[in-house]
Amino acid sequence: MSRDPAAMRALVVRAVLANPVTLFPDEATRARLEDPAADCAFEELGFDSLARMEFCIWMQLEAGIEIAEAALLDHPSVAALAAHLAGR
């Protein structure tokens, strides 16, 4: 089932912002996160193994989307992951 890529990107951003173990991004990073034309790598957002787990938990509980931590390594930016999930 493929989904709307823009909606998926917005969902991924919500999951990033809701992450309980990462710091809230600075203004410039936040602006890039919310700009549909821009991208942001998970590494820049301070994502480590725990943050990836929390991201996957949020996606499961809040969006019903099943995703493994490895997907964030294979698709290491917000845009890349959103495109992967939208096309899945």
Partner 1 sequence: MDDRTAPPIVGVIEQVAGQAPHRPALIHEHGAVGYGRLVAEVRGLAAQFARAGLRPGDAVGVALGEERAAIPVSLALLRLGCRQVALPPRDPAPVREDLATRLALVAVVGLSPSDAAGSAALIVPDIEAAARDDGPVAAPSLAGDVVVGTSGTTGRPKLMLADQGQLVHHAATLAGYGTVFHRQVPFDSNYGKRLTLRSLVTGGTEVLGTDLTPDALAELCARHGVTRVHMPPQVAEALFAAGARIGATWPDATRIFTTGARIPQALRLGLQERLGCGVHVQYGATEAGMVTIAGPEEHAAHPDTVGYVLPGVEVMLVDEHGRPVPQGEEGLVRIRSAGAIDRYLDDPAATARHCIDGWYQPGDVGRFAPWGALLVAGRRDDMMTLGTIKILPAEIEAVAEGFPGLRDCAAFPVRAPALGDIPVLAVVGDAGFDAAGLLAHCRARLGLRAPRKVVAVEAIPRNAMGKVLRQQLAEMAR
Residues that bind partner 1 (CB under 8 A): 20, 50, 53-54, 56-58, 60-62, 66-69
Q: Provide the residue count of the chain.
A: 88
- Report which residue type is found at 2: S
- Of 7 and 68, the one with the shorter C-beta distance to partner 1 is 68
- Of 40 and 72, the one with the shorter C-beta distance to partner 1 is 72
**Considering the complex, what minimum distance in angstroms separates the CB of residue 57 from partner 1?**
5
- Of 38 and 70, the one with the shorter C-beta distance to partner 1 is 70
- DSSP readout, 62-86? HH-----THHHHHS-BHHHHHHHHH
